[in-house]
């Protein structure tokens, strides 16, 4: 009994340390966003503001203000680019992963795809810049969506293949014995069982596209196309930097990924029981 209590105490202590370690940066970011500029630069450090100030949030959410216009335009661009790239990557990676898992497609090709994401991003800049320039796609969300889709495809294909491998092959074989086509088998037999994997792939791909900075910095140059990571860097420009505004932008920028994660958490749980075998 004592040994069990000791293990339980150790587990709870480790969980508490993990929660504190994970949430502390976010909590401090929120405190910074509602503190005055004087308190943020005071020595010694002020851990809690005397007066909570939400004016930065109202300014960022006001399209008529300069900061609000920059933030809301960047938020829109990030949402459009990340969602478009993620959906494109899923649409392409699901049949590709099915081919690698069930149709004997060469794994050498898959490892070749994976090798592309091991290269430093800067190696692709010049050819991509020339291609997008010749197509008049520079400084557009379309160019970023294409680049992000290409960046996400190897990872999404590998992740989906691993999950397809875990689904018994007898299920799709039985479907085809009854005359079902490959597309019908994938859509009606395999995908319902792979819903948790699809949700996880969507979340991880969305987060990767949402946080990408390097390509967005190179391929966008004006307010109408900049994404949030680039816009946040712009808030640090100038002789005087308001760290509270940067913190408020960081808090607001973290909300869409958090909302996506919470929504898909319920979807994953429901997807675990999706699909059935014809009796």
Residues 116, 108: Cα–Cα separation, whole Å: 13
Instruction: For residue 133, tell me if it sits in a domain.
Output: yes
Q: CA 8, CA 242: separation in Å to the nearest integer? A: 45
Residue with tokens 């308001």: 242
pLDDT at 85: 95
| pLDDT at residue number 199 | 87
Q: Residue 178's domain spans which residues?
A: 62-271
Alpha carbon distance, N-terminus to C-terminus of the chain: 47
Q: What is the largest CA-CA distance in the chain?
A: 75
Residue 187 lies in a domain: yes
Give the pLDDT score at 87.
95
141 located within any domain: yes
User: The dihedral of CA 265, 266, 267, 273: what is its sign?
Assistant: positive
On whether residue 40 sits in a domain, the answer given is: no
CATH number at residue 200: 1.10.3720.10
Tens digit of pLDDT at every position of the chain (279 positions): 566 777 777 788 888 888 888 888 889 889 998 888 888 878 888 788 888 888 889 888 888 777 888 899 999 999 999 999 999 999 999 999 988 888 777 778 878 877 877 888 888 888 999 999 999 888 888 999 999 999 999 989 988 888 888 888 888 778 877 777 878 888 888 888 888 888 888 988 999 999 999 999 999 888 788 899 998 888 776 555 678 888 888 899 988 888 888 877 766 554 444 443 444
With 0.95 as the threshold, say if the pTM is over it. Answer: no
**Structural domain contains residue 194:** yes
Task: Write out the H or E segment, with its range, that includes residue 89.
Answer: helix 66-102
The structural domain count of the chain equals: 1
What confidence score (pLDDT) does residue 266 get? 66
Does some domain include residue 113? yes
Residue 1 has a pLDDT of: 56
Under 8 Å between Cβ of 205 and 260:
no
Eight-class DSSP state of 178: T
Is residue 1 a part of any domain in this protein? no
**Secondary structure element (H or E) that encloses residue 23, with its range:** helix 2-33
The pLDDT of residue 3 is 66
What pLDDT sits at residue 240? 54
Question: Phi and psi dihedrals of 213, rounded to 5?
Answer: -120, -45
Specify if 155 maps to a domain: yes
**pLDDT for res 278:** 42
């Amino acid at each position: 009994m004592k040994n069990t209590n000791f293990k339980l105490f150790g587990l709870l202590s480790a969980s508490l340390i993990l929660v504190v370690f994970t949430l502390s940066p976010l909590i401090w970011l929120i405190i910074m966003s509602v503190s005055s500029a004087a308190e943020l630069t005071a020595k010694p450090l002020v851990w809690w503001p005397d007066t909570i100030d939400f004016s930065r949030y109202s300014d960022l959410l006001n399209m008529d203000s300069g900061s609000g216009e920059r933030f809301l335009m960047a938020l829109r661009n990030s949402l459009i680019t990340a969602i478009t790239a993620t959906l494109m990557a899923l649409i392409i990676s699901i049949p590709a992963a099915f081919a690698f898992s069930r149709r004997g497609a060469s794994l050498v090709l898959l490892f070749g795809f994976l090798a592309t994401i091991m290269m430093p991003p800067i190696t692709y800049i010049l050819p991509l810049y020339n291609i997008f320039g010749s197509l008049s796609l520079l400084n557009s969300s379309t160019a970023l969506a294409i680049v992000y889709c290409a960046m996400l495809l190897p990872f999404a294909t590998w992740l989906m293949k691993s999950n397809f491998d875990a689904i018994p092959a007898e299920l799709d074989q039985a479907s085809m014995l009854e005359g079902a086509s490959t597309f019908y088998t994938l859509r009606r037999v395999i995908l319902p069982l792979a819903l948790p994997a699809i949700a996880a792939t969507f979340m991880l791909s969305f987060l990767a596209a949402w946080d990408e900075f390097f390509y967005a910095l190179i391929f966008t140059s004006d307010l109408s196309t900049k994404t949030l990571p680039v816009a946040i860097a712009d808030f640090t420009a100038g002789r005087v930097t308001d760290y509270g505004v940067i913190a408020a932008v960081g808090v607001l920028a973290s909300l869409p990924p958090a909302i996506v994660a919470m929504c898909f958490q319920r979807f994953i749980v429901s997807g675990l029981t999706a699909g059935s075998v014809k009796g």
